[in-house]
Amino acid sequence: MADQPWMSSITDIGPGNIRVRGYHITDIMEHLSFAETVFLILKGELPNKAEAEMMRAILVASIDHGCSPPSVLGTRNVVSGGNSLNAAIAGGVLVIGDSHGGAIENAAKIMQSWAKKDGDTAMLADELVDYLRENKIRMPGFGHRLHNVDPRTLKLFEIAERCGFSGRHIELCKAIEKALETKTGRALPINVDGAIGAVISDMGFDYRLGKGFFIISRVPGLLAHAYEEMTREKPMRQLGNRNYAYDGPGPREIEK
Ligand SMILES: CC(C)(COP(=O)(O)OP(=O)(O)OC[C@H]1O[C@@H](n2cnc3c(N)ncnc32)[C@H](O)[C@@H]1OP(=O)(O)O)[C@@H](O)C(=O)NCCC(=O)NCCS
């Protein structure tokens, strides 16, 4: 039906009028922080004090993690190749995936579906880890190359406790960490993705928003890396691991 308008409930605009979820943008500018505004646009309602505090911590947690993460190397490589800022940020965001940053989505998906089941979280975690091991699946949101205990995880859980968000998902998340260690014999700490996945689940967010929290948090970090690469490094420098050896076919000729 051609005359049916396309409906959206996010932002109403008209001449001199911009209302996000019903609130005038100038009131938001006057009264809300960026984290509170992100909560408003995603949930459709203003955060209460506890939600605002939790949201601020989530968005700060992943702002940067040095030069080694794949998304940072992505951004810096795009700059180094001689491309613009928007291409560099887009390049870094494209690198975010199930193994880096994007693990929030799958961690939250698994925890949201398992937390609904009956039974205590220790028993559910045991069952889940058995299932993952039988199917050779890594549990998203667990394990870290650098941290034995991820300080961001501890802080997020501490704030969640203080703000009243320490619910069944965080409990399940901690139980999964224990079950992984018992069953694999290897310490696989809850990483920042796993912690955010658990916290947003206890805050009532849909797991499909998961990657978004990492992207919103990491873009300022990528911007800082892109700018540093532009202003401090020479073009097309060799980034990443140079310890590279060839193991393909030996020299050969095309038969004419
Ligand atoms: C983050 C990550 C890539 C770090 O990996 P790493 O410390 O270099 O460890 P490796 O990839 O060498 O794996 C070492 C072993 O631990 C196991 N392992 C690592 N993370 C695991 C996980 N999350 N669940 C189950 N097993 C895991 C591997 O299967 C491997 O076992 P194996 O030696 O029997 O084959 C890895 O832990 C992972 O893939 N985690 C899940 C994805 C994730 O959470 N990403 C967000 C990172 S912030």
Domain membership of residue 67 (yes or no) is: no
Does pLDDT of 2 surpass 80?
no
0.85 cut: is pTM over it?
A: yes
pLDDT of residue 3: 85
Atom of ligand 1 nearest to the CA of 184: 26
Contact 160, 170 (CB under 8 A): yes
Domain membership of residue 112 (yes or no) is: yes
CA of 144 to the centre of ligand 1 (A): 7
Nearest 5°: CA angle at 212, between 60 and 13?
A: 100
The token duo for 148 is 């034995």
Domain membership of residue 109 (yes or no) is: yes
**Closest alpha carbon to 163 in 21, 6, 35, 4:** 35
For 143, the domain range is 103-209
Atom of ligand 1 nearest to the CA of 133: 25
Number of domains in the chain: 1
Q: Going by CA atoms, what residue is nearest to atom 8 of ligand 1?
A: 145
pLDDT in tens, 109-130: 999 999 999 999 999 999 999 9
What per-residue string of b and e applies to 11-23 under the rule 16 or more CB within 10 Å gives b? eeeeeeeeebbeb
Domain membership of residue 85 (yes or no) is: no
CA of 143 to the centre of ligand 1 (A): 5
pLDDT of residue 1: 60
Q: Going by CA atoms, what residue is nearest to atom 13 of ligand 1?
A: 143
Which CATH number do you get for residue 169?
Answer: 1.10.230.10
Supply the mean pLDDT for the chain: 95
Contact 133, 188 (CB under 8 A): no
Domain membership of residue 227 (yes or no) is: no
For ligand 1, say whether the CB of 202 is within 6 Å of any of its atoms.
no
Domain membership of residue 251 (yes or no) is: no
Does pLDDT of 165 surpass 70?
yes
For ligand 1, say whether the CB of 92 is within 6 Å of any of its atoms.
no
Sign of CA dihedral 44, 26, 33, 230: positive
* CA dist., res. 107 & res. 127, Å (int): 16
Does pLDDT of 102 surpass 90?
no
